[in-house]
Structure formats: C-alpha cells, structure tokens
C-alpha cells in the first residue's frame, strides 16, 4: 500500500493542475465575473500571507477535488493573453514541475490540439516507463478584455476521470493582469484509498498554505494547495521568460521556477538545485527534439470579437 500511495502521489502531483474548476459557470464565460471576483478578493489580497495579491482555495467532497488560484500578474494583458492562448506553449509550462517528463502537442482535430503529458517519478525516468495522460486543448476565447483557455481529459490513473483545467485573464491596467487558474477531477474508491495511504505515510507531514486552527492545512486540501501553487509559479516563470531570446527561455524558466518554489521550502521543496536543473534542462531538450514540427505555434481562438461584460 505504501508503494501504491507513492505511485498515486506521483500522478496527483503532475495531473492535479489538469482540470476546470467546478465554480466556473457553464454559460459562455466573459470578463465581468472575473473582474467581480477581483473586487471581492480585495480584502484578502491586502492581507495575503504571500506578500502579494494571491489567494488559494481548495476543496474535496470525496467525489471531486477542486483547486483555484487567483493572482495579480505583473504582465500586460496583451502579452500574457497572447502567450497563454497558444496550446503548444502550454507544454513549456506543463514540463516545469519536477515529475512531468515529456509533453507533446499533436493535432486532435482541425479545431483543436491534443497534449500528451508523460509523468514519472521525482527523478529522471525513461519515457517508456512513464504514464501518459491525453488532454484536448479547446479553441481559446480571446477578446480585447478577456481570455480563457480550457483543457480536458476524460480519464486518468487509479480511476480518476473528468480532468479539466481553466485559465482566465482580464486586464487591470496597462501593466497588470488578473488571473484565475482552476482545476478539478473526479475520483473513486481506488484513488481515495491510495490518497489516504499517502496522507498517512510519506505525505503525513506535508502542509499547504492556508492557516487553519493555528496550523497550516494538511490532508487533501494541503495537497491541492501545493499543486495549485506549483502550476501558478510555472505560468509566471513561463511569462517572465518570454523577454529572453528563444534559445535561452528553457534555462530561464527552469532557474526561475526552482527559485520560486524554494521560497516556500516547507510546502514545495522536493529536489536540490543540482538535482532539478540538469534533469529538467535535459527534459526540455528532449521535448523540443520530439515536438511535431507540423503543429502551428499560432494561437487558435474561438472568437476575436469582444466578449460581453
């Protein structure tokens, strides 16, 4: 059971960022709801324990887990929305966490791409020993004041299913953008048993970021908060690296993500700099060699007209 828990935790760390939040409205999204959320979070941002406008939220109803991150990015909306609406570039983001070993974009249909994400253990793992998850990247929604992308996967390991990830952006001013990153997935008895085993053994002392009853939250909420933060930091590292020449971006992202993670050592530390950086740079090189050259890097959009707000 300990091995099962460890193996399931590997999947969980890599795949928890791959789902849409249950709180996302099923109606056609627009920027009004996200701007309202920014106003709603003003007090929490002002007292944020992160020292920046950032709020994490996670929940688990024993059938589905949800995670949300809301943050103000020091990035102009036009730059951030252009970069994050490109499905091929999401492989750059997905590869940064330590146990994602490969990401390849291929054509799923004339209107969508598929991202194949390969996950291994904490250290280097041969690709033929990794486990894969297939995501469909739906055409993004882009407007002058709103952007939204969504990825979905019908199934995952240990009976997990209905993975969705959503990222939404609205401009705050000429220099700043408000971002919502959310995910969820459903799970059954096998995944629940494996997670309980993980949380009672190797994950027993791991904590999240929210302080509750005098201590940092543990258990499933702690797991969700840690993974939400990992992918938030990956998105930010990717956006900052866009200022560098293209050949230098992988190294910039890898160093930036590691430094950001190490600012939260109790929650996020997994590998040393000497372990993580050479391993991840080799994985980026392998990913770029294996990427399908026929896939366009141009953003695909569902609409270029402004969304109602």
pLDDT for res 111: 66
pLDDT for res 50: 92
Domain residue ranges of the chain, discontinuous segments joined by +: 2-297
Distance of alpha carbon 168 from alpha carbon 29, whole angstroms: 9
pLDDT for res 124: 76
Phi, psi at residue 203, to the nearest 5°? -100, 10
Best CA proximity match to 160, nearest among 21, 18, 2, 1: 18
Full DSSP string of the chain: -HHHHHHHHHHHHHHTTSS--TTS-SSPP-HHHHHHHHHHTHHHHHT-TTSSSEEEEEEE-SSEEEEEEEEEESS-HHHHHHHHT-TTHHHHHHT-STTEEEEEEEEEETTEEEEEEEE--SS---GGGSEEEEEEEPPEEEETTEEEEEEEEEE-GGG-EEEEEEEEEEE-SSS-EEEEEEEEEE--HHHHHHHHHHHHTTTTT---S-EETTEE--HHHHHHHHHHHHHHHHHHHHHHHTTS-GGGHHHHHHHHHHHHHHTSHHHH--S-HHHHHHHHHHHHHHHHHHS-TTS--S--EEE-SPPP-
**187 CB-near residues (< 8 Å, 6+ apart):** 63, 64, 65, 158, 159, 160, 161, 195
pLDDT by residue for the chain (309 residues), tens only, comes to 444 445 455 555 545 434 333 333 444 668 999 999 999 999 999 999 999 999 999 888 777 888 899 999 999 999 999 999 888 889 999 999 998 999 998 876 666 688 888 888 777 778 888 878 889 887 788 899 999 999 998 887 777 888 888 999 999 999 999 999 998 888 888 877 877 887 788 878 899 999 888 889 888 888 888 988 999 999 999 999 999 999 999 999 999 999 999 999 999 999 999 999 999 999 999 999 876 544 444 333 443 322 222
10 Å Cβ neighbour count for 52?
Answer: 10
CATH code, residues 2-297: 3.30.530.20
- pTM for the whole thing? 0.83
């Amino acid at each position: 059971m300990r091995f099962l828990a460890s193996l399931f935790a590997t999947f969980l760390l890599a795949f928890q960022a791959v789902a849409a939040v249950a709180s996302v409205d099923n109606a056609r999204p627009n920027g009004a709801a996200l701007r309202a959320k920014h106003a709603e979070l003003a007090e929490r941002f002002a007292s944020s324990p992160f020292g920046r406008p950032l709020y994490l939220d996670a929940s688990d109803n024993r059938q589905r887990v949800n995670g949300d991150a809301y943050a103000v990015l020091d990035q102009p909306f036009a730059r951030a929305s252009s970069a994050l609406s490109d499905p091929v570039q999401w492989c750059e983001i997905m590869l940064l966490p330590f146990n994602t070993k490969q990401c390849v974009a291929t054509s799923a249909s004339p209107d969508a791409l598929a991202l194949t994400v390969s996950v291994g253990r904490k250290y280097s793992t041969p690709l033929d020993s990794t486990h894969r998850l297939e995501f469909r990247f739906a055409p993004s929604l882009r407007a002058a004041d709103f952007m939204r992308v969504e990825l979905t996967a019908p199934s995952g390991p240990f009976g997990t299913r209905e993975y969705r990830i959503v990222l939404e952006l609205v401009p705050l001013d000429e220099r700043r953008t408000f971002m919502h990153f959310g995910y969820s997935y459903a799970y059954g008895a096998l995944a629940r048993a494996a997670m309980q085993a993980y949380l009672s053994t190797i994950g027993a002392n791991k904590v999240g970021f929210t302080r509750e009853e005098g201590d940092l939250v543990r258990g499933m909420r702690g797991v969700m908060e840690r993974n939400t933060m990992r992918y938030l930091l990956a998105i930010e590292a990717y956006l900052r690296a866009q200022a560098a020449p293209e050949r230098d971006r992988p190294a910039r992202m890898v160093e930036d993500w590691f430094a950001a993670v190490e600012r939260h050592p109790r929650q996020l530390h997994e590998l040393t700099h000497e372990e993580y950086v050479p391993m991840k740079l080799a994985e980026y090189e392998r990913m770029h060699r294996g990427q399908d050259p026929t896939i366009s890097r141009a953003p695909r959009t569902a609409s270029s007209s402004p969304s109602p707000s």
